[in-house]
A and B are shown apart, each in its own frame.
Chain A
Amino acid sequence: MENHLNDQNTECSVSSDSNDCQRVDQYGFERSEDFNYESYEELMSKHLAVVTRRSNKWSKLLQGTVKVEKNVKVKRYVRKGVPCEHRTQIWMAASGAQDQLERNPGYYHSLLKAEHDPKIEEVIRADMHRTFPDNIHFHASSQPCLQKALFNVLLAYGHHNKDVGYCQGMNFIAGYLLIITKDEEKSFWLMDALIGKILPDYYTPTMLGLKMDQEVLGELVRMKVPAVWQVMNRHDVMWTLVVSRWFICLYVDILPVETVLRIWDCLFYEGSKILFRVALTLIRHHQNLISQAQSLPEICERFKQITHGEYVEDCHTFMQKIFMEPGGLSTATITKFRKMCRNRITSA
């Protein structure tokens, strides 16, 4: 499939001249009818220079090497965004997925060839037409169609990690990985890095890691944005109601595509703490809006509202904000809260 999909590579070099590019974005997502082309052009012209500069810097950094070191310089580079053409390589290297792929040649394909659990197969199949119906590459009629690749990656993963199997939401993760890497095997190992290493146990049948992180976010909000914490409490709104999708889908289908990819750059390089930074930034920046809500439905509505609009569409600025707006957020704090919340949930 790699060959089929490579012709999309050119789309990576952001172009907006053809009509097709106007109708769908560079990743194949159809634009809404009310898509504002004027403000898009404006942002584009501002950002094109930035993107080009970043791209040149990255090319220089990566000259003659496939390794991605963990140091302050690379971290700064990652936070400023990995250019589309280097994304697969950086994600693979930073997450350890590349090592795994090299250490296990043929493993992915052997999973596909082995006998499959019909139950897993059925649940995955049920989500095929419900994964990115608004992306042209996932239409059943498109050539090539990413649905088959999506099915394979999820099926292989379900048999590789039997504790997880298949959990709804993983389809969106695998879908994004395929859009970026255009390669099933790489997507598979990136999935494994995410689910097996980077994220807590979000997708297991107990979803304990998800429940834990929702509670952790609650604690962080209590500490950093008390006004929102109070309104949530007053109206008895469970965190799961407003943020479970944020965590499960790693912001896919919540935030604009490019913003999600920028978040994922950091997720692969720095780890899952970034998910809290994003949530806290969204909540803190809109704390007045949220805390003025008068009811549970209003709160839910506002939590949806804050994931749209210019604030999240301008991904460069947004990414700067997430490292400033929530203030300090040490790994020790997260670890402490995770332990505390996990205990609270399991002893309840």
Chain B
Amino acid sequence: MAKQYDVLFRLLLLGDSGVGKTCLLCRFTDNEFHPSHISTIGVDFKMKTLEIDGIKVRIQIWDTAGQERYQTITKQYYRRAQGIFLVYDITSERSFQHIMKWASDVDEYAPEKVQKILVGNKSDEEQKRQVATEQGNKLAKAYGMDFFETSAFTNQNITESFTRLAELVLQANKKDLDLLGGSMNDEFNLAVLEEQEGLCNVSDDSRKSCWC
């Protein structure tokens, strides 16, 4: 099967329950926003291909359950990630404070080279804002991360933030790419080789119906 992309990255969405991780992902991959969807249980993922500097980048984005106890399951995925979104909700001071906890878990369990960006979601809910943009900026600076305020609802900064993290991962791994002289063949091991999938559509339209 011919490859439809040059490299494959794994990105991970982390942050408290209810900050909008699944909504960010749905907006980015399907350009959809569902005001009401069900809470994420365990781990799920979606895929999308981007083109950065002429390189076709296939990204696998892992969405996780935000409740603390689910980390006992989701931590196993940290080490497989090349990029991580730390997401909080600008209308929840608590979710912002927890970013420190998420960041330290990432330090502990993710690969050293992992790229991170900070995302303050729900920027459309200005009237309920509890975290000033400046606070987000400051924290991101302290961690040396890029920062975006996003809204899955209005589609603000969605493509920008996902593309930025993909760029950062690409840059961080550029050396490996160059070593291969740009001939990105099967030896290229930024991602597991067997991931030569065709088209993967992980849209979850679980349908319930009664036949009885």
Contacts and interface: CB of A to CB of B under 8 A. Distances in A.
Contacts of A241: 42-43
A297 interface: yes
Contacts of B65: 168
A245 B38 CA distance: 12
A334 interface: no
A47 interface: yes
A253 B197 contact: no
Interface residues of B, number: 40
Given A253-B38, A295-B197, A258 B210 contact: yes
A58 interface: no
B202 to A, nearest CB: 6
A235 B195 CA distance: 9
Given A27-B210, A314-B211, A244 B197 contact: no
Interface in B63-104: 65, 67-70, 72-73, 76
A131 B39 CA distance: 7
B100 to A, nearest CB: 18
B209 interface: yes
B156 interface: no
A324 to B, nearest CB: 20
B41 A294 contact: no
Interface string A281-313: 000000000000011111011001001100001
Given A296-B194, A297-B47, A301-B201, A307 B206 contact: yes
Interface in B156-194: 192, 194
A132 B43 contact: no
Contacts, number: 145
Contacts of B18: 126-127, 130
A29 B207 CA distance: 10
A309 to B, nearest CB: 9
Q: How large is the interface on A (under 10, 10 to 19, 20 to 34, 35 or more residues)?
A: 35 or more
B41 to A, nearest CB: 5
A169 B42 CA distance: 9
A129 interface: yes
Given A168-B70, A206-B72, A51 B45 contact: no
A31 B211 contact: no
Given A168-B67, A300-B45, A26 B210 contact: yes
A29 B194 contact: no
Contact of B194 (A171, A211, A256, A294): A294
Interface of A: 14, 25-27, 29, 31-32, 34-35, 40, 43-44, 47, 51, 81, 123, 126-127, 129-134, 167-169, 171-172, 204-207, 210-211, 234-236, 238, 240-241, 244-245, 248-249, 253-254, 256-258, 294-298, 300-301, 304, 307-308, 313-316
B17 A126 contact: yes
Determine which residue in B42, B60, B200 has the highest number of CB atoms from chain A within 10 A of its CB, and name it. Answer: B42
A259 to B, nearest CB: 9
A244 B17 contact: no
Nearest to A296: B195
Interface string B115-151: 0000000000000000000000000000000000000
8 contacts: A27-B210, A35-B209, A131-B39, A133-B34, A205-B72, A240-B42, A245-B41, A297-B45
A295 B194 contact: yes
Residue of A25, A134, A297, A308 ringed by the most chain B CB atoms within 10 A: A297
Nearest to B197: A295
Nearest to B66: A168
Given A204-B69, A210-B73, 11 more contacts: A32-B209, A126-B17, A211-B73, A240-B42, A256-B208, A258-B212, A294-B1, A294-B198, A297-B60, A315-B211, A315-B212
A248 B43 CA distance: 12
Contact of B43 (A205, A211, A244, A297): A244
Contacts of B73: 207, 210-211, 240, 244
A300 B200 CA distance: 9
